[in-house]
Amino acid sequence: MAGFITGKFLFGILAFLTIQFGTCLSKMLEENLRISAFNLRMFGDARAENTDVVEILAKIIRRYDISILQEIRDKDGSAFKLLMNEVNGNTDEYASDLSQRLGTSHIKEEYAVIYRKDTVRLDDTYQYPDPDYDYFERPPFSVKVHLKTADELDEMAIIAIHTKPTEAVEEIDKLVDVSKNTSDHWNGLKNILIAGDLNAGCSYVTTKEMKIISLRKDKRYSWLIGDDVDTTTSGSDCAYDRFVASGDQLKAAIVPGSAREFKFEEEYNLSEKQMKEVSDHYPIELEIRGRVNRRELAKFDSKLSMSFQDNTIHNREDVMRILNSDDFVQYGFDVSIDVNIGTEKKHITAFMDNMTKDQVLSIMHSINLSSDLIRESVCELVILHLNSPLMSGIPGGHGFLIEYDMRYAFEVSCEEDGYHRCSFKLTRGIVTIGSFA
C-alpha cells in the first residue's frame, strides 16, 4: 500500500472544520452554562464593609449563570443587598433568592442562589423539612431551575448544603434521603445536583468513612470533584466542597473535565493576604453544554485525515507496479493513469472508498508480501495510526465527543516525471456528534 514510503515522511492531521468562532458559533452553539458553589466565609455586615472583598466576590459571581452561596450571616439582609448591587452594577442582569435563616445556635446562616436571568429561570424553591434540626445543622435548601440555553436539559434541581464539620459523615449520608425527598416534591424530577461545602475530606470525613457513606456507595450519584482536589485557600489540603450529580440527562449535559476549583487569586492577580480575605474556600464550578442548533450543524461536513509524504526517488518499475500488478486491482481499487501530452508527465492513482480497518490492514499486509513497495517501518506506523484512540473520537471544544465513521478512504498516488515520488492518504469522516456519558 505504501511500500514506496521510505526515509522522511510528513505525518499530519487535517483538523476537522472548527465551529468555535465567528458567526458560525452564534448560529450553531450557545455558550456553555456555568454553575458554582461557594462558601463566602461568614459573609455579613463586617465583611461587606470591605469594598475590595465585595468587588472580588462580585467578579467571581459574574463568572457564572448560577451561584450557590453558603455561610451568609446577614441579620437584616443589608450585606447581601450590597453584594447584589455590586454584582449587577448598572444592570439588572442577575436575580437572587435566599433560604430562611438556619442553625441551632444564635449564629444563623442562609443559603443563596444568584442566577443570570437571560439564561436561567428560577421556577421554585424548597426547604428540606427538618424543623427540630434532627438531621442537619443547616437543613438543605433546594432550587428548581429552567435552563433556557442548555442542550437537551430543560430543568434541574440544585440542593445547597453546608454540613456541620463534626457531623459531616452523618449529614452527607442523609443526603440520599434529601435527594429522594426533593425529587418527590417536584413530581419525580431526576436531574439533581448536590452542591456546597460538604466538609467531605481530611479529618471530618476520612478515607475509611467515605467508603461507608450512602451517597458515595450509591451508583446513581456521581462525585464530580475528586478527593485529591484542594478546595481551600488556607494551609490545609482538603476537598471540602463538592458537586454530586444524579440523573442521566444531567450527567450527560455536564462538560467533561469542567468540574474543578476556581483559583481566583491567579485569575485576579491577588496576594495570599488578599486571597484569604475573600474566603477560606475556593468556589467550585462546572459547565453545562449550551444548546446546539442541529439544523445548522448538519450543513457542515468535516474530515479527519492522515497523510504520509515520501521524498524518496523510486525507479519507474516500482511506480508502474501499481498499474501492472494485481496488488490493488484484485481488491477492487479504481486504478487510473493520467498523461500530460506536452510534458509526458504521468499521474498514477489507486483509490478505494468505504474500506474497513481490517481491509486496510489486510491489503497492506498482502502488498508487503508480494512486493518491495511497503516497508516494515511504514506498516508499524500505519497500524499505530489505525489503532490510535484518536481515531475513535476526539473531544470538541463544546464538550462533545466527535465520533468518526468506521470506514476509510484509501488513496495512493504517484507522479512520473523523470523522478518518481508517491504519497499515501487515509481519510475518515465525521458522521455523528454526540455527548459524553
Tens digit of each residue's pLDDT (9 = 90 or more) over 53-112? 999 999 999 999 999 999 999 989 999 999 999 999 999 999 999 999 999 998 999 999
Q: What is the pLDDT of residue 407?
A: 77
Compute the average pLDDT of residues 220-237: 94
User: Tens digit of pLDDT for each residue in 305-357?
Assistant: 556 555 556 666 666 665 555 667 777 888 887 777 666 677 778 888 888 88
User: Tens digit of pLDDT for each residue in 96-141?
Assistant: 999 999 999 989 999 999 999 999 999 999 999 999 999 999 999 9
Give whole-number Cα distances, 242 to 41, 199, 263, 435, in Å.
16, 9, 15, 23
Q: What is the pLDDT of residue 148?
A: 96
Instruction: Please check the confidence at residue 371 and state whether its pLDDT lies above 80.
Output: no
On whether the pTM is more than 0.75, the answer is no
CA distance 88 to 275: 22
Which run of H or of E encompasses 227?
none
Residues 6 or more apart whose Cβ sits within 8 Å of residue 170: 135
Provide the CATH topology of domain 30-291.
Answer: Deoxyribonuclease I; Chain A (3.60.10)
Residues 6 or more apart whose Cβ sits within 8 Å of residue 46: none
CA distance 228 to 344: 68
CA distance 341 to 108: 92
CA distance 355 to 141: 56
Residues 6 or more apart whose Cβ sits within 8 Å of residue 44: 72, 73, 74, 75, 79
Compute the average pLDDT of residues 215-224: 95
Compute the average pLDDT of residues 223-236: 93
- On average, the pLDDT of the chain sits at 83
Catalytic residues: 109, 162
- List the chain domain ranges: 12-20+297-435, 30-291
Judged by average pLDDT, the poorest of 125-129, 260-264, 424-428 is 424-428
Nearest-CA neighbor of 315 among 236, 390, 418, 244? 418
Q: What is the pLDDT of residue 404?
A: 56
User: Tens digit of pLDDT for each residue in 265-285?
Assistant: 999 999 999 999 999 999 999
